[in-house]
Amino acid sequence: MELYKLTAQQIQKLLRSRQVSCLEVTKSVIARIEETEPNIHAYIATTFEQAMEQAIRVDEKILRGEELPPLAGIPVAIKDNICTKSIPTTCASKIINGFKPAYDATVIERLKKANMVIIGKTNMDEFAMGSSTENSAFGPTHNPWDLQRAPGGSSGGSAAVVASCEATLAIGSDTGGSIRQPASFCGVVGMKPTYGLISRYGLIAFASSLDQIGPLSKDVRDCALLLNVLAGYDPKDSTSINIDLPDYTKFLTTDIAGMKIGIPKEYFCEGLDPGVEKRIQESIAVFSGLGAECVDISLPHTKYAIAVYYILATSEASSNLARYDGVQYGYRAEEAENLLDMYRLTRSNGFGAEVKRRIMLGTYALSSGYYDAYYLQAQRVRTLIKNDFEEGFKKCDIILTPTSPTVAFKLGEKIDDPLKMYISDIFTISANLAGIPGISVPCGLSDGLPVGLQLLGPVFGEGKILQAAYSYEVGTDLCVCPIA
């Protein structure tokens, strides 16, 4: 039995019945990484020794008959912008290469409390700025479906390790689609929760009002199980929301009769690949066949989302990344003759081209004389986009869209054309601007590559989109990662 191929729930049953040990599962995943990683390049760092120690501790608890959390012993990979105590956290950037945090992010504390086995840190676009995982100081990650193609970004490493079975589960971050778009490209499940549902404490910031941590998995049930671990109030995060949380696995039923699913006309537009649109239209028919009512809705300010996002996100990035100056930690240019030279050379040499581009865009938008015309106006339009969703959810329970307008594109195809790259996120960005949850699930293939179906819900509507996603998964058997 190739244990690395199994879902978390399948491994869970084997561990509980003592048919396999946690150490056997961990060694199986490690062997898979050693076999596959030279081609995929999805990890920046691996933690095999620590992982095996964690696995042994879980096995000892099982032998003692201790009652363990549902995901105890399950291997999980971590995006490298999430702080891990004493383990390098680089954001895939030269400027903090070698940085070892003195503390764990809250989500890491939750994973450890759940007795999960942390297997390594995954590659990403530098500081989460990108849609292809090509903007990494450590080189690009390759899509397991086709090594000549991008896995999406910025959580491309996390999506790729799940798709290639180099981890059972993974966590990423989503600022404008950075979990959902890679999930779509790699044929796995990825969720961006409601803003404030999962603590951002220990997540190295890109755009603080948009960033959100979330799970990636092989199927919808595993996604719900990992969401149970990650979600919860954290007083260390000022944006964390203190609410009573459900067990998200309780929503995994196949009864969606009468559920209203909104189909926004603005998401079926010029630039949507015909093969992708065909799969999405087939998915709409599947939901209708399952008893859901599909209704047409309008989100009229969608056309402004890209412009709004790339003003607000870059402005926040300009502020957040000002701390990387070569003074306190991280990379420092040694050839500088004075303090100003040191600042200039450190940031010029330490940041990659895309990060520098976004810092400059954000600095310009915030500068005197332009703040009102750009940043303030973008905030106003963001409110209109949020209002569109609130009005839309008065007519439906959830909203269905494509996750990405295309399947995975070739490595190098868009790296020299920022506008083409930015448009890759056209269907995911609005959810971040509105702070609502979204999930991407596989819905078939186009030209032999995965297509992602996106389901969006109202604030704290994770249960509704999980229910719909699970019903679709069971009804089609398309949400099973076939790479291994």
Question: How do residues 331-358 score in pLDDT, each as one tens digit?
Answer: 999 888 899 999 999 999 999 999 999 9
Name the β-bridge partners of 425. Answer: none
Mean pLDDT of 108-136: 98
Active-site residue flag, 154: yes
Looking up tokens 């905030």 gives 379
Domains with residue ranges and CATH for the chain: 3-248+468-476 (3.90.1300.10)
Dihedral, CA atoms, 399, 404, 407, 412, nearest 10 degrees?
-170
Mean pLDDT of 224-241: 98
What's the CA gap between 297 and 238, in Å, rounded?
A: 34
Instruction: Report which residue type is found at 461.
Output: G
pLDDT the model gives residue 481: 53
Segment among 84-88, 182-186, 329-333 with least mean pLDDT: 329-333
pLDDT the model gives residue 418: 82
Mapping DSSP to helix (H, G, I), strand (E, B) and coil, where does residue 443 land?
Answer: strand
Active-site residue flag, 319: no
Neighbours of 239 (CB within 10 A): 15
Q: Name the strands in the sheet holding 43-46, side by side, starting at the edge strand that comes first in the sequence.
A: 43-46, 117-122, 75-79, 169-173, 213-217, 189-192, 438-446, 449-456, 398-402, 260-264, 293-297
> What is the pLDDT confidence band of residue 269, given thresholds at 50, 70 and 90?
confident
Active-site residue flag, 86: no
> What is the pLDDT confidence band of residue 98, given thresholds at 50, 70 and 90?
confident
The answer on pLDDT for 464 being more than 90 is yes
Single out the catalytic residue among 93, 132, 136, 154: 154
> What is the pLDDT confidence band of residue 479, given thresholds at 50, 70 and 90?
low
Closest CA to 78 of 47, 34, 100: 47
pTM above 0.85, yes or no: yes
Segment among 331-335, 349-353, 366-370, 417-421 with least mean pLDDT: 417-421
Single out the catalytic residue among 164, 178, 440, 471: 178
CA distances from 147 to 36, 187, 410 (A): 11, 14, 9
In the numeric block, which tokens belong to residue 419?
């506008």
Single out the catalytic residue among 79, 121, 218, 414: 79
pLDDT the model gives residue 484: 47
